[in-house]
Structure 1
Amino acid sequence: MNRNTTFALVFASLISLPAAAASFNCERAQTPTEHAICEHRNVNDADVKMATTYKIINRLVPMGTRSAIRDEQVRWLALRDRCGQSVECLTQVYQMRQQKLEQYMQRVYQQGPF
């Protein structure tokens, strides 16, 4: 897969994703972490960006890699939820996860789906 095809797939994936205030319904937020994400714009934006990147990567990688990335995501969600309402903690864990997801995206850009 060439670079133009990869960009086209990423763009198509973005178009098909609905716009959201968060990656989940804030009206149903239950945990302190979910409330903090909904109440703080910068964390909310980080949540949307991370969720969008995660969904794109899941569409571009083969099943074995997808499984590993999903397992990482589950572990990351548990880490994120330990932040509670701490915006500083949430900001840090979202930055950490986004960096990891961007590493996967770089591999897709360089090598094609892996």
Structure 2
Amino acid sequence: MKIQHCLILICLGCTGVSANAASFDCHKAKTVTEHAVCDHRDLNDADVKMATTYNIIKRLVPMGTRGAIQDQQVKWLKMRDQCQDNASCLTDVYKMRQQKLDLYMNRVYQQGPF
């Protein structure tokens, strides 16, 4: 688990994403949901963590799995957007997605060595 956290921190540093910025440009936020993510620090942090984990996993899994994960991400984004500006709902859907992505990450670790 420590390796996962190190990878995320390294990727955050490499991508230039600051710790207090969502995975998207908050100045260009269009939806009520995007504005809510930008307005709440906890949601903002959850968004950065989820997006970073998602991008790492996309590079580490085989093509078939990658396609499935991308399809799941699209479905998840639609579910997230149904929360609108409900912070509790958004917190729950981010936790759910992060847990799913963590399962994929754990499978990658099990197939090591790294």
Per-residue displacement from partner, 1:73-105 (whole Å, max 9, x unpaired)? 000000000000000000000000000000000
Unmatched tracts of structure 2, length 5 or more: none
Over residues 9-65 of structure 1, what are the superposed CA-to-partner deviations in whole Å (9 max), with x where a residue is unaligned? x46644422214001000011111000000000000000000000000011111111
Stretches of 4+ aligned residues off by more than 6 angstroms: none
What's the C-alpha RMSD, in Å, of the aligned pairs? 2.0
Check if 1:44 corresponds to 2:44: yes
Match of 2:100 in 1: 100
Identical residues among aligned pairs (%): 62
Counterparts of 1:49-64 in structure 2, within 5 Å, are: 49-64=49-64
TM-score normalised to the size of structure 1? 0.86
Q: Which residue of 1 aligns with 2:27?
A: 27
Give the TM-score, by structure 2 length. Answer: 0.86
Structure 1 gaps of 5+ residues are: 1-5
Greater relative contact order (Cα 8 A, min sep 6): structure 1 or 2?
1
Residue identity opposite 1:78 in structure 2: K
